[in-house]
Structure 1
Amino acid sequence: MERNAFFDNARVILIFLVVFGHMIQPFIGNANEIHTLYTWIYIFHMPAFILISGFFAKGAGDKKYIWNLIKKLLMPYIIFQVIYTGYYFLIGKADWQTSLFYPHWSLWFLFSLFSWHILLYFFKKLKPGYSISLALAIGVSVGYFSEIGHTFSLSRTLVFFPFFLIGYLLTEKQIMLVKKKAVMIGGAVTMAIFAVLIYFLPDINTGWVLASKSYGDLGVTEFGGLLRILIYTVSGLMTVSVLAWIPKNTIAGVTHLGSRTIYVYLLHGFFIQYFRQIELFNVDNLIDVIGIAAISAALVYLLSSKPILGISQPLIEGKMTRLKDKFSRDKTQTDS
């Protein structure tokens, strides 16, 4: 599929929000404003990321595609699960011990992404209305089972799957409808309204937007399903609103990073967890938030840089084309 600057811009902005959200997470109890910002980001940033991932899953189903997914998603998952286990032990993180199928921190996304592709094989055989309704029904129902949680990333896989499925079903033309002026204006109003609502409802449990806990763990067993439907609605509206404001033209120095977000996603945890372990930062005012945002942006650029890509490509993609190309260019220049 030919690259579209809109999708690459969206990836860059969303991966920045992933890093930024992880940076400020330990400080959400410091001030209501930080809690509001964190919750506001988490309402849409993973649903939007997952929707875009679903859009690019058009070839899902055949055996070769599944084998490529194993190499692209499951192998890096296993490799980084082992690496992060050792890293957490070295930095003294208390919960460094875990099973292979209990994903460390952000690694859940790789396991879930593989699972979403597998689920597509069955769901794409249904009519769109039925498939989306069934996915939503499953996402609502799993919250009633406390046994479904972090293991195999099962809770997040099933709760977030509707966004992946919708992304798969959408065409590029349909997605680009968000760029209509009316949608952009409505999106700006929607984002502002939800920011205000979150600010004045500070007791919102962030577990609702993380999608990894049962309704019982969240303390709302009886009405949990209704609240998840509400979260689905809000997340959907916010996803559309945010995408409406994603630039559709190439941005110098930014857009090209959209093809490198998997590197940022897998590698930023080494920095974030170290920062948390040594309690390097403290965030409780606007200046601190701006500073953390700048550091987050710097991390995105660092982890998207060619040296980092070359070094980490064997672990993430299972190949060394970047290093080989670099050596070939250096040899050509030396010979000339």
Structure 2
Amino acid sequence: MERNAFFDNAKVLLIFLVVFGHVIQPYIDGSTGMHTLYTWIYTFHMPAFIFLSGFFAKGFGDKGYILKLAKKLLIPYIIFQLIYSSYYYVIGKSNWLTDMFYPHWSLWFLISLFSWHMLLILFKRLPVYASLLVAILLGITVGYLAAIGHSFSLSRTFVFFPFFLLGYWLKEEHILLLKRRSAKVLSVVVMVTIAICIYFAPEINTGWLLASKSYFDLGMQEFGGVARLLVYLTSTLMAASVLAWVPFKRNSMTKLGERTLYVYLLHGFLVQYFRAYDVFEVNNVLDVIGLAGVSMLIVLGLSSKPVLTMSQPLIECKMTNMKKMVKSYRTYETFSR
């Protein structure tokens, strides 16, 4: 599909929020404001990201697609699972040694993304509303099964699948409806209302938003299905509200939307280092703004050409950037003689 500035702009915003959310996570305990900000971000940033992934899965089923997908997602998963294990050992994290299919931190997304495409083989054969209903029921049901959790990213795969499937079914004209003035006004009401609810509500277990635990682990075994349904509704409204404000025009940051996978896979090395050595602390609003600046620098740095060139063999299993660099260097050498 031809690249659309709206989607690239949305991906840049969301990857920034992913990094920012991970950076501020150690500081949410004991601070209602930080907990509110963190929880507010988590109500929508991954559902929106997953929705966009589903939107760009419309070509699924083409010849060789599954093989290409496995190369794009599963091989980097294995590589980075090993790299993160080694890195965690170096910085002294206790959980460095783990099963190959117990994803380190953010690597769950690669397994789940591959699995969502596999689920499409069946679900795209169903009528739209029936497929979404079944996906939601599956997402609700798995919460009652304690055996389904973090391993193989099974819990997150089923819980987040409705967002992926919704993205698959919707067309660009549906998303354009979010740009109406009435939709934007409503979106502000939704975002502010949910922020206020989070602030004044009793302590909210963010495990509901991470989607990796059973209802028993979350302390709501009987009414967990109702709670998850409310989370689905909240996340959908929040994702739509945030996307309503994403610009459609290209800007200086739009190009970074093509490089979000690099930021996603690499930012963990920096964030885990910050956490292991207590690099930052938060005492006031200026500190939070500073962490937002650090998060933006991480996004910019990990999207830079030198980082793309060096890490492309690990992430894309290709060396096109490195070959271009070598070719440019040789051309420069030739003309400089």
Range class of TM-score, shorter chain: over 0.9
Look up the equivalent residue of 2:82 and give its one-letter code: V
Secondary structure in structure 2 of the residue aligned to 1:147? coil
Q: Which runs of 5+ in 1 are unaligned?
A: none
Partner of 1:83: 83
Q: In 2, are the aligned partners of 1:30 and 1:283 still within 8 Å (CA)? A: no
* Aligned residues of 1:34 and 1:284 also touching (Cα < 8 A): no
Aligned to 2:106: 106
Provide the residue aligned with 2:43 in structure 1: 43
Question: What is residue 15 of structure 1 aligned with on the other side?
Answer: 15
Shift in Å, 1:143: 0.4
CA distance in 2, matches of 1:135, 1:61: 20
| 1:113-262 equivalences in 2 (<5 Å) | 113-252=113-252, 254-262=253-261
What SS does the aligned partner of 2:97 have?
coil
Which amino acid in 2 is paired with 1:329? S
What is the letter of the counterpart of residue 290 of structure 1? I
The CA distance in 1 between the partners of 2:2 and 2:314, in whole Å, is: 26
Letter paired with 2:292: A
SS of the residue 1:222 aligns to: coil
Q: CA 1:284 to 1:140, structure 2 compared with 1: closer, same or farther past 3 Å?
A: farther
**Runs (5+) with no aligned partner, structure 2:** none
Mapped to 1, the partners of 2:11 and 2:157 lie a distance apart of 20
Worse-superposed segment, 57-66 or 145-154: 57-66
How big is the shift at 1:333?
2.1
8 Å CA contact 1:149, 1:155 repeated in 2: yes
Equivalent-residue separation in structure 2 for 1:202 and 1:98 (angstroms): 34
Aligned residue for 1:251, secondary structure, equals: coil
Amino acid at match of 1:323: M
CA deviation string 1:152-202 (max 9, x = no partner): 000000000000000001111111211111111100111001000000014
Q: CA deviation at 1:285?
A: 2.1
RMSD value over aligned CA atoms?
0.8
Q: TM-score, normalised by structure 1?
A: 0.99
- Partner residue in 1 for 2:301: 302
Counterpart CA distance in 1 for 2:144 and 2:62 is 34
Q: CA deviation at 1:22?
A: 0.2
C-alpha distance in 1 between matches for 2:325 and 2:175: 37
Moved more, 176-185 or 81-90: 176-185
User: Are 1:32 and 1:202, in contact at CA under 8 Å, matched by a contact in 2?
Assistant: no
SS state of the match for residue 43, structure 2? helix
Could you list the structure 1 runs, at least 4 aligned residues long, displaced by more than 2 angstroms after superposition: none
Task: Give the counterpart letter for 2:133 in structure 1.
Answer: S
Please name the residue that 1:315 is paired with: 314
